[in-house]
A and B are shown apart, each in its own frame.
Chain A
Amino acid sequence: MPTSSPLFPEAASTIAGRVDALYFFLIGLTVFFSVLIAGLIIYCAIRFRRRSPREVGQKMHAHYGLEATWTVIPLAITMFLFVWASRVYVEMVRPPDETLNIYVVGKQWMWKFQHLDGQREINELHVPVDRDVKLIATSEDVIHDFFVPAFRVKVDVIPGRYVSIWFRSTKAGRYRLFCAEYCGTKHSGMTGEVVVMDPPAYQAWLSGGATQQTLSEAGQQLFSDLACNTCHRADLKGRGPVLEGVFGQAVTLQSGEKVVADEAYIRESILNPAAKITAGYQPIMPTFQGQVSEEQLLALVEYVKSLHK
């Protein structure tokens, strides 16, 4: 899969063009100032070259106007760049409301993908073209980094956290996936491909796999296997908080503090239940640290997300 040009990477996401525009502006700026400085140096080195061993330079006085000029111009240029780059960045990190969510688990030295419909993949990720795709990622061991150059997106995949990244690919094809954060011996082998497919092909791929549980069904199974359902009940009679409809809502804690029940909150509440106790409940839940894998956690998270009032 050669890149489209030996000097410039293929652009295959909606954000890529905006990043490239900024990049080309920066190249123009760099060329302009480098040529300006190099040109002035060469000009002065020739024009004012020493002509006799005893010659000295002409004394010049400090010039506040000049100093102000070459302070203010770079300041203005950099502030312009700051605003421009920040706008693109905000768009890059804020996902749209409706996204196709896929979970990612990095481990030494492979990428594991978990689709909501139940498909699992390793080192290959199938996504539909022209859809907003959000990846929710974590790591089983050390820090990895999910990097797809053609999409111009990259995010560190950090153990103990959920990070997210989103993109909307613009053309079907196969694009390189790299681990960009050094993660040990086979770091350079932790690569893969993102396969962007036209909607019909994607549908065919989705239905092509053996019939299996969806991710939230797998979560539901675990939820009862681990006996979570004995305390977390929908009927208000459980010893734990009701989970139906909790996702995305603000939860009031014992301290009076309010936190939003997002993926990270649910994960923490499973692994370290005492960290944030919901107001009105006792800290009696046991920890599940070491008993559920990152992938099982994702299934549980997805199940809790699927619970509506």
Chain B
Amino acid sequence: MPHATAMPAHHYLNDGYGIKSWLLTRDHKRIALLYLAGVTFFFFVGGAFAVLIRLELATPAGDLVTDETYNKLFTMHGVMMVFFFLIPAIPAVLGNFLVPIMIGAKDLAFPKLNLASWYIYIIGGLFTLWALINGGVDTGWTFYTPFSTVSSTTNVVPTALGIFITGFSSILTGLNFIVTMHKMRAPGMTWFRMPLFLWATYATSLINVLGTPVIAITIALVAVERVFHFGFFDPRLGGDPVLFQHLFWFYSHPAVYIMVLPAMGVVSELVAAGCRKEVFGYRFVAFASLAIAVLGFLVWGHHMFVAGESVYAAMIFSILSFLVAIPSAVKVFNWTATMYRGSVSWETPMLYAYGFIGLFTIGGLTGLFLASIAVDVHVTDTYFIIAHFHYIMVGGTIMGYLGGLHFWWPKISGRLYNEALAKISAGIIFIGFNLTFFPQFVLGYLGMPRRYHAYPPDFQVLNVLSSAGASILGVGYLIPMIYLMWSLRYGRAAGANPWGAVGLEWTTTSPPPTENFEKMPTVTWDPYDYPAIKNAEHRLV
């Protein structure tokens, strides 16, 4: 690691002090930190609900909380994690910080809109949190009708409104990224010179802009049926309950890719820097992101194989779901091939990348079980599904997010964290994660349904393993909170390029100045151009 230097005299963190300089900032980097505070808060709120769920499930009887409370807990866990952590985490924190810097721009195209997005996100989040604490909601994060419109007596409309509001934050951020990438690239920064993180962020932004309005409309229809008794979904009012599922999953399946594509982008960066080498098959990885974004819109029906779907519709959705596995597989193979003859690092960000690739592989392959209709019929709505999507969302997205946070933390904060602690906690998270979720695959095939407050006693051993894993995982998530905060004050100054990585963000100071670069860059090299940089040794440090 190159010798660390002192912190730069002027940077975005000391460019103005006081609460106003943060809450009225238009600097994308400060807004990224505002988002970091927001998503971290909602992550720990959602995590607290998960802890209570796993505690309840440690015993077969429903003895810790009542069934009503339990149903609210898993609903709140899902709502908080999906809409207020997983969807915004990587784009709004790392994307906000990195998109302008990676393309050599001073800021996003619409800085005020960017700040507005954060306010919308926080207002929606706090509103939802208020609805959840003040009575809660028991529909599951999926809000299936007619339960949500005619049966549930809980805070469905306020929760839905909170999610509705927050959706606009996703749309506006997506729009901002798309315009920025089209219009604000530095001279010489062609599309194929963009880092793969940007390709992934671009694909994600497309889904956000095209898909989010659908969930907004769907949620609005639920509220209208619930309040005014217009018959959209309730069969007694002439509606069709399954229509809701079509609309919901038309957004919510692409939303899975909103959550995982940015993590794939992060991992491409981690692997390139961790191997000091161009990502193998750069263009294939880039186009795989777009292929996933497009195909992701065509597979929603695989959530409804047992919901009265016709045989032929089910088969069409099955084959499309198999097809969406291909670009994901292409990415995994290319990342692995990148390591061949690389200069492979064992530093924390790379450990997260290893974890991501391994767990995403398992998550992706277990997705094939679900695309196989005959097996899906047995495992749908069981713990197999829970295990599968947590391998993607937690093993994939959160691993990618934490890897990215550790990789760019020296750039964001200007300081180094404790590497030994970081490695230990990455290991704890990996072990805790697998212990939590692997037994759930077995439970699912045994037939344990999801969203069960109490369960037959012979499922207990696997549930206890899962709960034990969750406690390890919880510890693993708390440790980075502590040492990252600690590094803000006590960490050594990182210097511009602590990893010896290439990419525009490593050419500027850590932390960067408010305008990102002292002199706006002109790009003449391909992304991940490590051998060229080796020849021009001075640029490495």
Q: How far is the CA of A192 from the CA of B52 in the complex (A)?
A: 27
Query: In the complex, are the beta carbons of A34 and B362 less than 8 A apart?
Result: yes
Q: Output the residue of A33, A37, A189 with the most chain B CB within 10 A.
A: A37
Is B283 interfacial (CB 8 A cutoff)? Answer: yes
**Interface residues in B270-305 (C-beta closer than 8 Å to A):** 275-278, 280-284
Can you list, as one digit per residue, whether each of A285-309 has a CB less than 8 Å from chain B (1) or not (0)? 0000100000000000000000000
Is B454 interfacial (CB 8 A cutoff)? Answer: yes
Can you list, as one digit per residue, whether each of A73-110 has a CB less than 8 Å from chain B (1) or not (0)? 01100110110111011101110000000000000100
Q: How far is the CA of A48 from the CA of B342 in the complex (A)?
A: 6
Residue of B nearest to A182 (CB): B451
For B341, the chain A residues whose CB sits under 8 A away are 48, 57-58, 60
Query: In the complex, are the beta carbons of B282 and A62 less than 8 A apart?
Result: yes
| Stretch in contact with the other chain, from B39-47, B90-98, B368-376, B399-407 | B368-376
| Stretch in contact with the other chain, from A128-136, A173-181, A201-209, A255-263 | A173-181
For A183, the chain B residues whose CB sits under 8 A away are 147, 151
Query: In the complex, are the beta carbons of A7 and B330 less than 8 A apart?
Result: no
Is A188 interfacial (CB 8 A cutoff)? Answer: yes
Query: In the complex, are the beta carbons of A85 and B373 less than 8 A apart?
Result: yes
**Interface residues in A52-74 (C-beta closer than 8 Å to B):** 53-60, 62-63, 66-67, 70-71, 74
CB distance from B246 to the nearest CB of A (A): 13
For A82, the chain B residues whose CB sits under 8 A away are 315, 318-319, 322, 371-372
Query: In the complex, are the beta carbons of B446 and A74 less than 8 A apart?
Result: no
| Stretch in contact with the other chain, from B253-261, B378-386, B487-495 | B378-386
| Stretch in contact with the other chain, from B27-35, B116-124, B526-534 | B526-534
| Stretch in contact with the other chain, from A119-127, A158-166, A214-222, A244-252 | A158-166
Is A116 interfacial (CB 8 A cutoff)? Answer: no
CB distance from A70 to the nearest CB of B (A): 4
Residue of B nearest to A191 (CB): B456
| Stretch in contact with the other chain, from B128-136, B167-175, B204-212, B332-340 | B332-340
Query: In the complex, are the beta carbons of A176 and B447 less than 8 A apart?
Result: yes
**Interface residues in A21-68 (C-beta closer than 8 Å to B):** 22-23, 26, 29-30, 33-34, 37-38, 40-41, 44-45, 48-51, 53-60, 62-63, 66-67
Query: In the complex, are the beta carbons of A8 and B445 less than 8 A apart?
Result: yes
CB distance from B145 to the nearest CB of A (A): 8
Is A143 interfacial (CB 8 A cutoff)? Answer: yes
CB distance from A39 to the nearest CB of B (A): 10
**Interface residues in B340-369 (C-beta closer than 8 Å to A):** 340-346, 350, 354, 357-358, 361-362, 365-366, 368-369
Known A-B contacts A6-B461, A48-B341, A185-B67; A26 and B372 likewise in contact (beta carbons under 8 Å): yes
| Stretch in contact with the other chain, from B18-26, B103-111, B215-223, B306-314 | B306-314
**Interface residues in B406-445 (C-beta closer than 8 Å to A):** 442, 445
CB distance from A165 to the nearest CB of B (A): 9
Residue of A nearest to B324 (CB): A78
Query: In the complex, are the beta carbons of B1 and A53 less than 8 A apart?
Result: yes
Q: How far is the CA of A143 from the CA of B248 in the complex (A)?
A: 15
For B521, the chain A residues whose CB sits under 8 A away are none
Q: How far is the CA of A92 from the CA of B375 in the complex (A)?
A: 11
Can you list, as one digit per residue, whether each of B63-90 has a CB less than 8 Å from chain A (1) or not (0)? 0000110010000000000000000000
For B366, the chain A residues whose CB sits under 8 A away are 30
Q: How far is the CA of A183 from the CA of B358 in the complex (A)?
A: 35
Is A187 interfacial (CB 8 A cutoff)? Answer: yes
Q: How far is the CA of A156 from the CA of B334 in the complex (A)?
A: 40
| Stretch in contact with the other chain, from A146-154, A230-238, A276-284 | A146-154
CB distance from B498 to the nearest CB of A (A): 11
**Interface residues in B512-530 (C-beta closer than 8 Å to A):** 530
Main secondary structure of the interface of A (DSSP, over half): mixed
Out of B71, B282, B307, B375, name the residue touching A26 (CB < 8 Å).
Answer: B375
Residue of B nearest to A108 (CB): B151
Query: In the complex, are the beta carbons of B447 and A161 less than 8 A apart?
Result: no
**Interface residues in B169-190 (C-beta closer than 8 Å to A):** none
Query: In the complex, are the beta carbons of B362 and A143 less than 8 A apart?
Result: no
CB distance from A76 to the nearest CB of B (A): 10
Q: Output the residue of A41, A56, A89 with the most chain B CB within 10 A.
A: A56
For B315, the chain A residues whose CB sits under 8 A away are 82, 86, 89
For B378, the chain A residues whose CB sits under 8 A away are 19, 23, 149, 152-154
Out of B144, B236, B358, B373, name the residue touching A34 (CB < 8 Å).
Answer: B358
For B456, the chain A residues whose CB sits under 8 A away are 176
Interface size band for A? 35 or more
Is B242 interfacial (CB 8 A cutoff)? Answer: yes
For B275, the chain A residues whose CB sits under 8 A away are 48, 57
For B531, the chain A residues whose CB sits under 8 A away are 56, 58-59
CB distance from B435 to the nearest CB of A (A): 16
Is B323 interfacial (CB 8 A cutoff)? Answer: yes
Q: Output the residue of B276, B283, B350, B446 with the most chain A CB within 10 A.
A: B446
CB distance from B204 to the nearest CB of A (A): 23
Query: In the complex, are the beta carbons of B453 and A90 less than 8 A apart?
Result: no
CB distance from A135 to the nearest CB of B (A): 13
Is B455 interfacial (CB 8 A cutoff)? Answer: yes
CB distance from A276 to the nearest CB of B (A): 14
Out of B282, B357, B452, name the residue touching A187 (CB < 8 Å).
Answer: B452
Query: In the complex, are the beta carbons of A85 and B280 less than 8 A apart?
Result: no
For A62, the chain B residues whose CB sits under 8 A away are 280-284
Q: How far is the CA of A67 from the CA of B365 in the complex (A)?
A: 19
Is A117 interfacial (CB 8 A cutoff)? Answer: no
Query: In the complex, are the beta carbons of A186 and B67 less than 8 A apart?
Result: yes
Q: How far is the CA of A272 from the CA of B326 in the complex (A)?
A: 47
For B500, the chain A residues whose CB sits under 8 A away are 53-54
Query: In the complex, are the beta carbons of B345 and A26 less than 8 A apart?
Result: no
Query: In the complex, are the beta carbons of B530 and A44 less than 8 A apart?
Result: no
For A176, the chain B residues whose CB sits under 8 A away are 447, 456
Query: In the complex, are the beta carbons of A154 and B377 less than 8 A apart?
Result: yes
Query: In the complex, are the beta carbons of A147 and B308 less than 8 A apart?
Result: no
Residue of A nearest to B2 (CB): A53
CB distance from A22 to the nearest CB of B (A): 6
Known A-B contacts: A30-B366, A66-B337. Give 9 more (CB < 8 A): A26-B372, A45-B346, A62-B281, A85-B318, A158-B308, A159-B241, A160-B241, A180-B380, A182-B140
A–B Cβ pairs within 8 angstroms, 21 of them:
A3-B447, A8-B445, A9-B445, A9-B446, A38-B358, A55-B343, A59-B277, A59-B531, A66-B333, A67-B330, A74-B330, A81-B368, A85-B318, A88-B373, A89-B314, A93-B311, A142-B146, A153-B377, A182-B142, A185-B67, A187-B71
List residues of chain A with CB under 8 Å of any chain B CB: 2-3, 6-9, 15, 18-19, 22-23, 26, 29-30, 33-34, 37-38, 40-41, 44-45, 48-51, 53-60, 62-63, 66-67, 70-71, 74-75, 78-79, 81-82, 84-86, 88-90, 92-94, 108, 141-143, 145, 147, 149-150, 152-156, 158-161, 163, 176, 178-189, 272, 289
